[in-house]
Amino acid sequence: MKYFRVLALLLAFAALEVPLFGSLSGQVWAQVQEDAGYLSALPDFPLMPGFSEQEETWVIFDKPGGRIVEAVFGGEALPAAVQDYYLGALPALGWRIESPAGEGLIFTREEERLVLTIGRQGNKTLVRLALAPIV
C-alpha cells in the first residue's frame, strides 16, 4: 500500500512536469524515505516498498580496497516502475546516473559503481544488485 502512495506522488510530479531525474523534491524524498526499508546487505540502499530480499543470494566482501556486494530482491511491481523508483531515489542519496537504459541501470558514487539489472521471472520482478569499487 505504501508503494502506491509513493507511485501516486511520483505520477503527480510527472503530471506537473517537475523533473525527477536526480532531483526529488524534499517533500517527495521524505515520503520515499518514510516508506522504504533498506537492504540488510547494504544498509544505505533503499529497498523499494513491497519488495523483499532474497538473503540466500547475498555475496558480501568488505575490504580495504572497497566493498563488493551482490544481492537479489524482488516484488510484484512492473520493471518500468522499479526503474523509475531507483532513477528517482538513488540520485537523492548521492548516486550519479551513468546509464539509465540497456542491460541495467548504472550509477556511480565516490569510488563505487552500482549496477541494477531488472527483469521479470514469472509474475515477479527481480532486481540483481552489484556494487563494486571503480577500478
d(CA 10, CA 119): 22
What CATH number is associated with residue 9?
3.30.310
d(CA 23, CA 46): 16
Instruction: Print pLDDT tens along the chain (135 aa).
Output: 344 344 444 443 444 344 444 444 455 445 555 556 999 889 899 999 999 998 888 899 988 889 999 999 999 999 999 999 999 999 999 999 998 766 689 999 999 999 999 999 999 999 999 999 998
- pTM here is 0.72
Q: How many domains does the chain contain in total? A: 1
User: 104 and 117 in contact (C-beta within 8 Å)?
Assistant: yes
Q: For residue 131, give the C-alpha cell.
A: 556494487
Task: Provide the domain limits for residue 95.
Answer: 2-133
d(CA 45, CA 86): 10
- Which residues are paired to 115 by β-bridges? 106, 130
d(CA 39, CA 19): 27
